[in-house]
Structure formats: structure tokens, C-alpha cells
A and B are shown apart, each in its own frame.
Chain A
């Protein structure tokens, strides 16, 4: 059973000048953790807004929980949880008041579905009298997730929940998502952080309104076409520039402590090292490396 089915969905802005979402199709199975991975302006938010029935598509169709996003919008709104990228709770209400408000709007009570939010809520409960506007980024994020969950949605839409959040809080957030998944809630999440992609069951890489590929993170990595090398020397900037100007370089870019590069067929470690020696860079560490999702994304953007 598919929880979300998207079929040739399109959205344009400015009388067709900007194709924000361009003929996008994908399906998400029940209980799946599905990631939309792409930078700002890729079209992620427009897709979320159409699937949560707050924006009408220009073309194509989509169904959530078997319901049509245009015809059945009222029923969909009862069944989905949506956490927009921008903090959208009531800043003048306390933690407790926000949560009660959202429960009441959905005709339920906090007690009824407390099991679902308990793990997350206990972390912010000591501050339940504090106004939402006065909370830290991490606490706002947890409260927003509680509010999106309080009516026990069958599909949860999370639009960039971890943007601007430090690595420790990001890790905690993804652990919360893992636990929610175990409760059989379908989760569609977007992120600009490529390292988070590996935590999803399947991912869609998206850029300029178009989907570049959809697969499991492991398959995306396995389908990387070239041999990828990691290189390092001091100073790094000189190495980066030298490799970039090497005629046999296919792709080259900084990657943390190392730089990553791939070369045309038949060019291996010896050839590259010889070239670098001619350029006056002798002490180079060079080794084969396994591509990450980020390498795959860069490769798809460049081709």
C-alpha cells in the first residue's frame, strides 16, 4: 500500500516564468522514511505544500493515504501532520497551550495520543509554562514535532526540520524519527544536509524542480560511475587548483580533510602523481575512496 503517490506534479510561479516543480513523480510506501534531498530553491517546499493541500498544483496529480490532494483536501488535512520549514507555532502561547490547541483543533486530546509524543515531550516538559517564542531552536523543533504528531497522523511531512541546527541536535532529531518510524508512521522529510540522506529508507535527489534520481542510499552510492580518489597535501589550495587544471580530471572538489577527484578512463594513481610532481607537488597522499551521497549529488549536478 502506497502512502503517497505523486504523478507528474508541476507548479509554476510568476505566470509560468519559474518552474518550481517540474513534472515530478514518486511514490512512498506505508511506514517508509522517504527523503527529498536538495538545496534551497530545488522545489522541496512547493512539493510539501501541494501534498499537504495548502497549494494547488498546475499540473499532474497526487494522492495521500489514497485521497486526492485537490478533491479530498479536507479529509487529507485530518490525516497528515505537517511541520513547515519556518517555525509556525503561536509564539505567545506556552508549550502546553500550543500542544492543547493543536490537539483541540484536531478533535482529540493530548492524553489520547500521549504515547506517540511521550519520548519527545518529556524533553521539553520541564519548560511547559514557557512561551514558544522564548524557546531555543532545538526546543522549538521538538515542540513543533509534538504538535504535528498529536492527532496521530498517518503521514508526517517535515520540511527541513534540521536546517540551521547544530550537529548534536540534528543527530538527536533523526533518532526521534527512527523511533516514530517504528510506530508505522510514514515520514516524508526534506533536508539540504547530504549526510542525513543515509538515514532514510529511500531518497529522491532534487534540483531545479526536477528529480535527478530515486533509490535507496546504498544503491545511489553503488551506481556512482567512476573510481573516486581522495587526495591530500599541504597546502590544500595548491593541490585543488593543480588537480582542477589536469586535462584528465573529470570531477574535482574539496571534501573535508581531503579532496575528491575522478579521472578519465585509464588514468590512475601513477599518472596523477606524476603530473602533480611536474607541478611541484610531491608529497601527496592518494587513495581510492567510497563515494558518499554528496559525491553522487555533485556528479549528477555536473552531468
Chain B
């Protein structure tokens, strides 16, 4: 039996009359790459914030890494990693300073931080950039570094919110190699993206429309169900009927 690391049951968030996330129920297994897709405004960010322990649900239940999203938000935060395109690293700190800062935040010991920094820099081939300010690095390097920092404390799950926007196709694939390697290591990946080819790299994906999960399956099964050869088309068939946007 595969271990379940995220389990939700009718998870819902209301803002006044507006139901941002409307009764979503799903499970994510250990070591899985789970793609969380939906049009802008479908409710992905709200759902993700609840799963990260940042926003209290209005109703329904969810456990993340075995902890309850109502009562155990601090434990959740210690057991997850998070990376988004909008916020990830401090531009005015050097590469090494960022690693030390986030390692400290996640409670790693100084000795641990030192050995992990070295292996991380070696793995990314960034030894000569260690003392450079993050702000001076190309976007692709920032993204790879940012992901590595998000999994530095070996979280059970890492949440990636549109991690690869704007980089070239080669760099984007290098990034996905890091994701694959982390998943091989047993870290569960929960990722949102607007690139439909990246959706194909996921073991399973869900597609949200107007606050609800309208489809959840392997990319292959979804394409069969919607009788098409591309994920782009599956997404289009599901999301074009959406009533709301951001």
C-alpha cells in the first residue's frame, strides 16, 4: 500500500459569497509528481495556501504529511518545502547566504548546513558562483537554486507554484531533471504549471475549473477519456467552459 501524503475531503474556502475552492477531494501518494492545473482564477492558489497551512479552510478536511490543516499548521510548515516564481530567494544575499538563511529557518544545524551547501553547489555546478549575489544570476540558475533550497531540509512534500516561467527550453528541462531526481528520492512533488508539456511529466494531474476538480488521472488516461492526443486539448475542453477568471 502506497503511503498517502496529502489527503483532502470536500476541502472548501469561501470569501463572503464567493467559493474560491469548492469541495475538492483527492489524494497524493509518496514520491508522486502531482500536477495541479487550472485556468487563472480556478482556485489553485487558494487550495495550495490551505494545504501549506497558510489559510484556514471554511469547511471540509485535509491532512498534509499526516498533519491537520486546521490545528497543526506549524508542523505542516516544517514538513513541506515551497517555491514560487514570485518569491523564492533573497536577491541581495549571496548564493551561500541564501542557503544558510533558509537552512536556519528550517532548523538545520550549522554543521548540516555546511555539508549540504557544499553538496548542493556541487550538484548544480555552481561552486564558482557561491559568493555572488543571487540577483546577478540568470533566471534559470535562480530557479534551480531556489528548488534545491526548498528541498534542503528533506521535506516530505514540496509545493511548486509555476516554477519554470520564462526560461529557455533547455533550462526548463534541466529543472525537471531536478524534480525527477527529488521524486526518485521519495520527495512528493505538488506542482502547478501553464506549460502543458510539463503536465505530461507528472504521474497524475488534476484540472480545476471554477473551484472544483473536474478531472483527475494520469495524463494518458485523460487524453483517452477526452479523445485527443494532447494535454493542451484536454485542458481546453475542460477549461473553456469556465465562468470565472482571476
Contact = CB atoms under 8 A, between A and B. Distances in A.
Contacts of A136: 40-41, 245-246
Contact of B139 (A40, A138, A194): A40
The 5 closest A-B pairs by CB, nearest first: A136-B246, A39-B168, A256-B200, A40-B166, A256-B197
B219 interface: yes
Contacts of B223: 257
Interface in B126-158: 138-140
Interface in B100-150: 138-140
Contacts of A262: none
Interface in A199-241: 207, 236-237, 240
Interface residues of B, number: 39
B183 to A, nearest CB: 8
B246 A164 contact: no
A171 interface: yes
Nearest to B201: A254
7 contacts: A138-B40, A167-B232, A167-B236, A169-B245, A255-B197, A256-B197, A298-B169
B14 interface: no
B30 interface: no
Contact of A139 (B138, B139, B220, B245): B245
Interface in A148-205: 163-169, 171, 192-195
Given A41-B138, A165-B40, A167-B196, A301 B168 contact: yes
B165 interface: yes
Nearest to A170: B194
Contacts, number: 95
B41 to A, nearest CB: 6
Interface residues of A, number: 35
A71 interface: no
Given A171-B236, A237-B180, A254-B176, A164 B41 contact: no
Given A136-B41, A166-B194, A168-B239, A253 B170 contact: yes
Contacts of A164: 162, 165, 194
Nearest to B194: A166
Contact of A302 (B167, B170, B231): B170
A143 to B, nearest CB: 13
A256 B167 CA distance: 17
B194 A167 contact: yes
Interface in A32-57: 38-42
Interface string B188-211: 000000111100110000000000
Interface string A228-268: 00000000110010000000000001111100000000000
B162 to A, nearest CB: 7
Contacts of B239: 166-168
Interface in A78-136: 136
A39 B172 CA distance: 10
Residue among A42, A169, A194 with most chain B CB within 10 A: A169
Contact of A256 (B39, B138, B166, B231): B231
Contact of B236 (A39, A168, A236, A301): A168
Residue among B138, B167, B169 with most chain A CB within 10 A: B169
Contact of B170 (A40, A195, A255, A301): A301
Interface in A249-296: 253-257, 294
Interface string B68-98: 0000000000000000000000000000000
A281 B165 CA distance: 33
A137 interface: yes
Contacts of A163: 165-166
A302 B173 CA distance: 13
B34 interface: no
Contact of A167 (B169, B177, B235): B235
Contacts of A38: 168
Nearest to A237: B180
Given A137-B246, A237-B184, A169 B166 contact: no
B171 interface: yes
A12 B206 CA distance: 45
B39 A166 contact: yes
B243 interface: no
B198 to A, nearest CB: 8
